[in-house]
Amino acid sequence: MKTNSKLFTIGLVTAWYSSNIGVLLLNKYLLSNYGFRYPIFLTMCHMTACSLLSYIAIAWMKMVPMQTIRSRVQFFKISALSLVFCVSVVFGNISLRFLPVSFNQAVGATTPFFTAVFAYLMTLKREAWLTYLTLVPVVAGVIIASGGEPSFNLFGFIMCISATAARALKTVLQGILLSSEGLGMFMPFAPALFCMA
């Protein structure tokens, strides 16, 4: 039984990484190579697929218990998380039209930097100095990569940085809202809100 549980967990993690990489490469192919000009439509397809698959996982497969929204406050908090996540995916898809996937992923490596900044600004939580020190080479590497990127596009770069910042903001908001008293119900909605983070 324990082995089955471990295999199931490994399968879920593998499926998450595979779908993440697959969607990223497919979006890049459609937006750049194929010339598809509607990144927001791709985001709508992404969100629809996440919602449907989450509903199947919750309602039919019973992976987590179905729960209802109990108050207007919970509804607004879920909506805020959804909106920030949607913005990060839209900006990420737009950036893929102008930047190579490799550079896009390099910029995405700055997510911990933005997360630390937002965590400090929103919760006044300070990390250990060693944490901040480890972020310096990551940010420096992205700056160096930006200067040497042959297909650098300023608009694409701004969209990519904005997507990365939105992803970090979502992480901080998620931590705040999930730890709020009486808001444990958020976890069942996690697949819908946070698939393909």
Q: pLDDT tens digit string along 43-95?
A: 888 889 888 988 898 888 887 788 788 888 888 888 888 899 889 988 988 88
pLDDT on residue 184: 52
Q: What is the pLDDT of residue 187?
A: 45
> What is the value of pTM for the model shown?
0.70
- Which pLDDT score is estimated for 51? 86
Inform me whether the pLDDT recorded for 107 exceeds 50: yes
Model confidence pLDDT, tens digit, residues 145-191: 777 778 888 999 999 999 999 999 999 988 887 776 455 544 444 44
Q: What is the mean pLDDT of the chain?
A: 81
User: What residues contact 61, with CB distance under 8 A and at least 6 apart?
Assistant: none
User: According to the model, what pLDDT value does residue 15 have?
Assistant: 86
Of the two residues 195 and 129, the one the predictor is more confident about is 129
> In a 3-state reduction of DSSP, which class is residue 90?
helix
| pLDDT computed for residue 191 by the predictor | 41
Mean pLDDT of the region 32-44: 80
pLDDT on residue 64: 77
**Exposure string over 65-95, b if 16+ CB within 10 A, otherwise e:** eeeeeeeeebeebbeebbebbbbbbbbbbbb
| Rounded Cα–Cα distance for residues 100 and 152 (Å) | 9
Rounded CA-CA distance 42/31 in Å is 9
pLDDT at 180: 65
- Section 89-103 average pLDDT: 86
Token pair 């779908």 in the structure block, residue:
19
Give Cα separations from 58 to 115, 119, 178 (angstroms): 29, 31, 19
Q: What integer is the mean pLDDT of 92-99?
A: 86
Q: How far apart are CA 13 and CA 5, in angstroms?
A: 12
